[in-house]
């Protein structure tokens, strides 16, 4: 094993029990060692996603059976600090990013061990914070629109909550695919989302998106009433993809559409393609706010508010 670690301890944010923000404690824990086929990453920045506080609250305990205590956070950018046996595609100091395995400890920590095949070289044109904002949301959008939705040039696509991290990535990927893109947002984000490529921004405080019809794909990250009203605006054979609701097969058959749940998977190959798109200027990244590791409760509160433009990021190490 090769490494560049001189210390034995690190700071990490862990939960001992499921519950509110008070469950997150900043602790000193031992730096893990990479096993075979793993690398140890020195984390410079970590992304905050709704998944994090849903895990913290215990909402996903049946879907993602974690062992407590648990380090939260499954989005990071950092550099390789130690390399386990049987890893030959990476070198010490390589700058990488990833959406690591949800079942393991996450990235609200100064170091994390991950499988060597879960990481990709981070975008060269982005700093650590911007890079940490990319993996989970952009992979989600990619897998929803391309892998599940099968998006094609000329498709008409509605993306709910366009100003969120997933929504912003989805708008840009849909435009790259040659689609006509509709999105929902508040009035303050209309011009911004049009600058990302949205053809029409529907102000959900003033308008009802269900005026649309004959759409090829609807991508839902909101759920509830928004999800239910999305069935009727699809054309026959269209596709409804949700990250929050498990679609009803009977309703799908009734409307003669495809319906799928999207639970984002780690995919280093897709991350490498995303890096290339970012470095070529085809995808832009927006940071909503940056917090320090000891401010993690504030970061979760901001995420839970649902009113962000882009991603919330935790600055962990310089």
Identify the architecture of domain 2-133+285-315 in CATH: Alpha-Beta Complex (3.90)
pLDDT single digits (tens) 212-226: 999 999 999 999 999
SS3 167: helix
User: Averaged over 305-315, what is the pLDDT?
Assistant: 92
Contact residues for 211 (Cβ-Cβ < 8 A; gap 6+):
none
The whole-number average pLDDT for the span 160-167 is 95
For residue range 3-13, what is the model confidence (pLDDT) as tens digits? Answer: 766 679 999 99
Whether residue 236 is predicted with pLDDT greater than 70 in this model: the reply is yes
pLDDT at residue 125, as a whole number? 98
Instruction: Kindly tell me if the per-residue pLDDT of 308 is higher than 90.
Output: no
Residues of the chain with CATH 3.40.50.720: 137-261
Judged against a pLDDT cut of 80, whether residue 230 lies above it is answered with yes
Please tell me the predicted confidence (pLDDT) of residue 2: 66
Q: What is the mean pLDDT of the chain?
A: 95
299 vs 3 pLDDT, higher one: 299
* pLDDT reading at 314 higher than 80: yes
Topology of domain 137-261, CATH: Rossmann fold (3.40.50)
pLDDT of residue 1: 65
pLDDT, one tens digit per residue, over 55-90 is 999 998 888 889 999 999 999 999 999 999 999 999
**pLDDT, mean of residues 226-245:** 96
Give the pLDDT band (50/70/90) at residue 105.
very high
What's residue 4's pLDDT? 67
> What are the percentages of helix, strand and coil residues in the chain, rounded to 5?
30, 30, 40
Q: Distance between CA 28 and CA 314 in Å, rounded? A: 17
- Higher per-residue pLDDT: 217 or 1: 217
Give CA–CA dist 184/167, Å, rounded. Answer: 9
Residue intervals in the chain for CATH 3.90.180.10: 2-133+285-315
Tokens of 55: 């895990």
* pLDDT of 231: 97
Mean pLDDT of 277-290: 97
Strands 200-203 and 9-15: unpaired
CB atoms < 10 A from the CB of 168, how many? 31
pLDDT tens digit sequence for 237-253 = 999 999 999 989 999 99
Q: Which secondary-structure segment (H or E) carries 105?
A: none
> What is the Cα–Cα distance from 2 to 173, expressed in whole angstroms?
38
- Express as a percent the part of the chain with pLDDT over 70: 98
What does the alpha-carbon distance between residue 16 and residue 156 come to, in Å, rounded to a whole number?
A: 46
Give the N- to C-terminal CA distance of the chain in Å, as an integer: 25
Three-class secondary structure of residue 252 per DSSP: helix
Backbone angles phi, psi at 15, to 5 degrees: -115, 140
């Amino acid at each position: 094993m090769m490494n560049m670690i001189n210390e034995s301890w690190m700071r990490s944010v862990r939960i001992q029990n499921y519950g509110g923000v008070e469950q997150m404690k900043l602790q000193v824990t031992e730096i893990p060692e990479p096993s075979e086929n793993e690398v140890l990453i020195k984390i410079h920045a970590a992304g905050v996603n709704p998944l994090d506080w849903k895990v913290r609250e215990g909402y996903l305990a049946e879907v993602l059976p974690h062992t407590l205590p648990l380090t939260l956070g499954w989005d990071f950018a950092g550099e390789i600090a130690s390399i386990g046996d049987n890893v030959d595609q990476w070198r010490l100091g390589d700058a990488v990013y990833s959406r690591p395995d949800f079942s393991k400890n996450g990235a609200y920590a100064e170091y994390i061990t991950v499988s060597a095949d879960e990481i990709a070289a981070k975008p060269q044109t982005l700093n650590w914070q911007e890079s940490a904002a990319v993996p989970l949301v952009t992979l989600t959008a990619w897998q929803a629109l391309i892998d599940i939705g099968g998006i094609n040039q000329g498709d008409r696509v509605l993306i709910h909550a366009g100003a969120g991290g997933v929504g912003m990535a989805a708008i840009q990927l849909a435009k790259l695919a040659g689609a006509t893109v509709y999105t929902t947002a508040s009035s303050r984000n209309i011009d911004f989302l049009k600058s990302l490529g949205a053809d029409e921004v529907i102000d959900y405080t003033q308008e009802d998106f269900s005026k649309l019809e004959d759409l090829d794909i609807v991508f839902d990250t909101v759920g509830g009433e928004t999800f239910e009203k999305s069935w009727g605006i699809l054309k026959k054979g269209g596709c409804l993809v949700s990250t929050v609701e498990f679609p009803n097969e009977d309703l799908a058959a009734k409307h003669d559409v495809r319906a799928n749940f999207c639970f984002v998977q780690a995919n280093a190959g897709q991350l490498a393609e995303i890096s290339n798109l970012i470095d070529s200027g085809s995808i832009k990244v927006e940071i909503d706010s940056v917090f320090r590791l000891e401010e993690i409760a504030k970061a979760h509160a901001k995420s839970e508010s649902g009113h962000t433009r882009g991603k919330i990021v935790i600055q962990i190490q310089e």
